């Protein structure tokens, strides 16, 4: 199984490294200082599930890699269109490009550039960042992702990739029959987890311990579920309470990638998260006051860091 990781950062390099440990032929696509360090010193993953280091081919030019079975597409959502324009050298007839990004529009943008037949949707659950060039720090979370064909088919390429994922330690993967549902459900959780940790600028434990803040967390999830349903996505009953239980069990020191980016002067995915919910809410006549508040509070930060 030949796999390219397009955007080998916190998420991509972690899962790519795990697949390489399982024997997959993994190629990293990165840029800047991070790429220099990957080429010079290899990839180092410092993980709560066990540290590991490995030498993997790394480049900024997809033509060096050539056709792959699977491309894990893990750039930030604001880089989706630019990166999608460079994906073609990685594509054979049956190549799957699997987005593991946050946001609701990445798959559509990818499909517009490379064709819907190449695109799978996905959602990732992991807390990981580039701690320094060449080094990915994994601090917690389930280390799992769910992915699937846009039409829900249990295709040969999707099941073949699942077999490889199942061989890998330190990660779990699941094949989805309704990736739109999963994307909206993940959006509901991330708008709460990212929105609250970034606006409050404190970890989840302190947010949980204040009734009003915890209620805002719940309302953020609820609003996104309402918008998702209004757009036609079939969210499961009980999604709000399931996420509240999940968030109740997360470590008290949990934050989010949005909080990390905000506090490290990095571009933020605010438009892909709360910006999209606010716009889709207006289009579908669904009130989203909590998401509007988060969007308004974080816009100056998003502008400053852009």
Ligand X SMILES: CC(C)(CO)C(=O)C(=O)O
Residues that bind ligand NDP (CB under 6 A): 7, 9-12, 29-32, 34, 60, 74-77, 79, 82-83, 86, 100-102, 124, 126-130, 257, 269
Residue closest to 217 by CA, chosen among 227, 228, 231, 206: 206
CB of 274 to ligand NDP, least distance (A): 13
Helix segments in 71-155, DSSP class H = 80-84, 106-114
Can residue 190 be called a binding residue for ligand X (CB under 6 A)? yes
* Both structure tokens of 236: 């499961």
What's the CA gap between 216 and 271, in Å, rounded?
20
What's the CA gap between 74 and 243, in Å, rounded?
24
Residue 181 binds what, of ligand X, ligand NDP, none (CB under 5 to 8 Å, by partner type)? Answer: none
What's the CA gap between 17 and 31, in Å, rounded?
17
Residue 129 binds what, of ligand NDP, ligand X, none (CB under 5 to 8 Å, by partner type)? Answer: ligand NDP
CB of 39 to ligand X, least distance (A): 27
Which residue is associated with the tokens 């990736």?
179
Residue 193 binds what, of ligand NDP, ligand X, none (CB under 5 to 8 Å, by partner type)? Answer: ligand X
The span of 47-55, 64-72, 188-196, 297-305 binding ligand X (CB under 6 A) equals 188-196
Query: DSSP per residue over 243-258, as a string?
Result: HHHHHHHS-TT---HH
CB 187 within 8 A of CB 272: no
Residue 276 binds what, of ligand NDP, ligand X, none (CB under 5 to 8 Å, by partner type)? Answer: none
What mask, x for binding ligand X by CB under 6 A, covers residues 76 to 115?
--------------------------x-------------
Helix or strand holding residue 97 (H, E): strand 91-99
Helix or strand holding residue 11 (H, E): helix 10-21
CB of 239 to ligand X, least distance (A): 15
CB of 303 to ligand X, least distance (A): 20
CB of 294 to ligand NDP, least distance (A): 15
Q: What's phi and psi for 209, nearest 5 deg?
A: -85, 5
Can residue 146 be called a binding residue for ligand X (CB under 6 A)? no
Q: Binding residues for ligand X, per CB under 6 A? A: 102, 125-127, 141, 190, 193-194, 256-257
């Amino acid at each position: 199984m030949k796999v390219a990781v397009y955007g080998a950062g916190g998420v991509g390099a972690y899962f790519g490294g795990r697949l390489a440990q399982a024997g997959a032929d993994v190629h990293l696509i990165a840029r800047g200082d991070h790429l220099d360090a990957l080429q010079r010193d290899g990839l180092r993953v410092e993980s709560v599930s066990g540290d590991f280091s490995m030498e993997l081919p790394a480049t900024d030019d997809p033509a060096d890699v050539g056709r792959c079975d699977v491309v894990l597409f893990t750039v930030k959502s604001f880089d989706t269109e630019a990166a999608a324009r460079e994906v073609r050298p990685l594509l054979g007839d049956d190549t799957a490009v699997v987005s593991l990004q946050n946001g609701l529009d990445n798959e559509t943008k990818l499909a517009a550039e490379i064709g819907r037949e190449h695109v799978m949707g996905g959602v990732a659950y992991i807390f990981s960042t580039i701690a320094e060039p060449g080094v990915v720090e994994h601090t917690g979370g389930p280390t799992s992702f769910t992915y699937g064909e846009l039409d829900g088919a249990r295709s040969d390429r999707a099941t073949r990739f699942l077999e490889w994922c199942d061989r890998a330690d330190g990660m779990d993967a699941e094949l989805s029959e309704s990736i739109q549902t999963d994307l909206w459900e993940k959006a509901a959780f991330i708008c709460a987890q990212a929105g609250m940790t970034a606006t409050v600028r404190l970890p989840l434990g302190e947010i949980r311990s204040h009734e009003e803040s915890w209620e805002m967390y719940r309302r953020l999830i609820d609003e996104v579920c309402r918008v998702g349903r209004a757009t036609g996505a079939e969210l499961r009953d009980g999604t709000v309470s399931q996420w509240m239980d999940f968030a109740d069990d997360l470590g008290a020191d949990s934050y989010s990638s949005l909080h990390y980016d905000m506090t490290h002067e990095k571009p933020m995915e605010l438009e892909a998260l709360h910006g999209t919910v606010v716009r889709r809410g207006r289009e579908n006549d669904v009130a989203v006051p909590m998401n509007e508040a988060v969007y308004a509070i974080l816009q100056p930060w998003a502008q400053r860091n852009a």
